[in-house]
Amino acid sequence: MKTLSQTDPAILELIGKETKRQEEGIELIASENYASKAVMEALGSSLTNKYSEGYVGKRYYGGNQVIDEVESLAIERCKKLFNCEHVNVQPLSGSPANAAVYFATLKPGDKVLGLQLDHGGHLSHGHPVNFSGLLYNFTQYQVDKETGRINMEKVREIALKEKPKMILAGFSAYSRNLEWKKFKEIADEVGAITFADIAHIAGLIAGKAIESPIPYFDIVSSTTHKTLRGPRGAIIMCKEKFAKDIDKSVFPGMQGGPHDHATAARAVAFHEALQPEFQTYAKNVIENAQAMAAELMAAGLKIISDGTDNHLMVVDVTSKGISGKEAERVLDLVGISTSRSTIPFDPRKPMDPSGIRLGTPAITTRGFDAEDSRAVARAITQAIENHSDNKKLESIRESILALCKKRPLYS
């Protein structure tokens, strides 16, 4: 970054500090990952200079011959990766993608069934402060109190009673596989559109480690920067029947020009995910999460639903006499990044909830194996149990640094 060092040393210094933080800390935020150098090079390319409102072959600006080829490649690779009929690769991020899906299929006030936020859903799935909850009439399903799992019989009961226009399946904090086929059967019974939001698990689906909703669902949205390990951005995949409405909704409905540099970086990420190594990566992400969950449970921590089928877990830390916010702070001190999280039926408030959410996509990218993941779990338990012992916390910080040195980023 020679030029940046001359033009803007202040920003260069901050980038350096953040890079160091990422290298010397353990990233367990379930929605984060480390994009490859190739993805970042595409992001930092001349494509950022271009305007290309419209779609391949139908642009509202000249000079888009190359961009058309870039977007076509991204589309072709995405279709191959997910085996979908149609894809729009232009949504700027996950929430705008979901907005485009709603605009394409619903009228304000229409009823949608989605997973409640504090039970693992996402803001854009009908939370009252979000545009989705303000514009549409969301009814929410929950997880069962005893099992921590979504009970499909209850989802069916709510669907039969409420007759939603759309049924939404997807989550940001749920550690079990969704029963795509059952969602589809329920939707067919009530004549609802099926919409899956796979923002968190797209990489695990692309890596063939968990089942895909694409054979069953009408519309599937995803971010490209979580387990899929690409640039920040999103995609909307759908059956051919919805293709025109989805495209019209993204542009000109919601957005102006697509971010062509990010489209190119998506294409690079799809190419990477099509390689056999990515299947190993997806499998390892889940193995690491299961190793971490088992070790945490052995140490007496409660994991919602008692384990995980995917890359994440929600841990109730209150049995150790600490809140989620305090656990997040103490873990930050020892160099472990996590995010506080509500647990289902949380007696505490969202700003200081009972849990933390942990995920293994980022550590698996830097080569952590199951044994490393168990070591991280032990460090978490020790830090939480010794949260007011600064000496002990310092020694845990040292062990975390050693682990990071053993598994360098971009080695």
Ligand X SMILES: *Cc1c(COP(=O)(O)O)cnc(C)c1O
- Which residues 6+ apart lie within 8 Å of 114 measured at CB? 121, 125, 126, 138, 139, 140, 141, 168, 170
- Residue of the chain from 64, 88, 90, 95 that contacts ligand X (CB under 6 A): 95
Token duo for residue 329: 């702070």
> Which amino acid is it at 217?
F
Is residue 219 within 8 Å of 183, Cβ to Cβ?
no
Q: What angle do CA 270, 273, 275 make, to 5 degrees?
A: 120
**Which range binds ligand X by CB under 6 A, 62-70, 139-147, 166-174, 275-283?**
166-174
The minimum distance between CB 233 and ligand X, in angstroms, equals 8
- Nearest Cα neighbor of 242 from 84, 133, 59, 77 is 84
**Which range binds ligand X by CB under 6 A, 197-205, 276-284, 351-359, 403-411?**
197-205
94 is a contact residue toward ligand X (CB under 6 A): yes
Is residue 112 within 8 Å of 146, Cβ to Cβ?
no
360 is a contact residue toward ligand X (CB under 6 A): no
355 is a contact residue toward ligand X (CB under 6 A): no
Judging by DSSP bridges, how do beta strands 336-337 and 26-27 pair with one another?
parallel
165 is a contact residue toward ligand X (CB under 6 A): no
354 is a contact residue toward ligand X (CB under 6 A): no
DSSP state of 176: S
33 is a contact residue toward ligand X (CB under 6 A): no
- Which residues 6+ apart lie within 8 Å of 18 measured at CB? none
The minimum distance between CB 15 and ligand X, in angstroms, equals 21
- Residue of the chain from 90, 223, 341, 354 that contacts ligand X (CB under 6 A): 223
Give catalytic status of residue 53 as yes or no: yes
197 is a contact residue toward ligand X (CB under 6 A): yes
118 is a contact residue toward ligand X (CB under 6 A): no
Residue 223 or 341 having the CB closest to ligand X: 223
Residue 177 or 399 having the CB closest to ligand X: 177
Give catalytic status of residue 232 as yes or no: yes
The Cα–Cα gap between 145 and 147 comes to 6
Give catalytic status of residue 226 as yes or no: yes
Token duo for residue 146: 């005893």
The Cα–Cα gap between 214 and 207 comes to 14
- Residue of the chain from 90, 142, 172, 364 that contacts ligand X (CB under 6 A): 172
The minimum distance between CB 95 and ligand X, in angstroms, equals 3
Residue 98 or 140 having the CB closest to ligand X: 98
Is residue 230 within 8 Å of 268, Cβ to Cβ?
yes
The Cα–Cα gap between 304 and 341 comes to 11
CA dihedral 322, 123, 110, 141 (to 10 degrees): -30
Determine phi and psi for 28, rounding to 5 degrees: -115, 10
- Residue of the chain from 31, 116, 175, 227 that contacts ligand X (CB under 6 A): 31
**Which range binds ligand X by CB under 6 A, 94-102, 204-212, 272-280, 355-363?**
94-102
177 is a contact residue toward ligand X (CB under 6 A): no
Token duo for residue 218: 């009408």
386 is a contact residue toward ligand X (CB under 6 A): no
Catalytic residue (one of 50, 176, 226, 357): 226
The minimum distance between CB 237 and ligand X, in angstroms, equals 14
Footprint on this chain of ligand X (rule: CB under 6 A):
31, 93-95, 98, 122, 124, 170-172, 197, 199-200, 223
The residues annotated as belonging to the active site are 51, 53, 197, 223, 226, 232
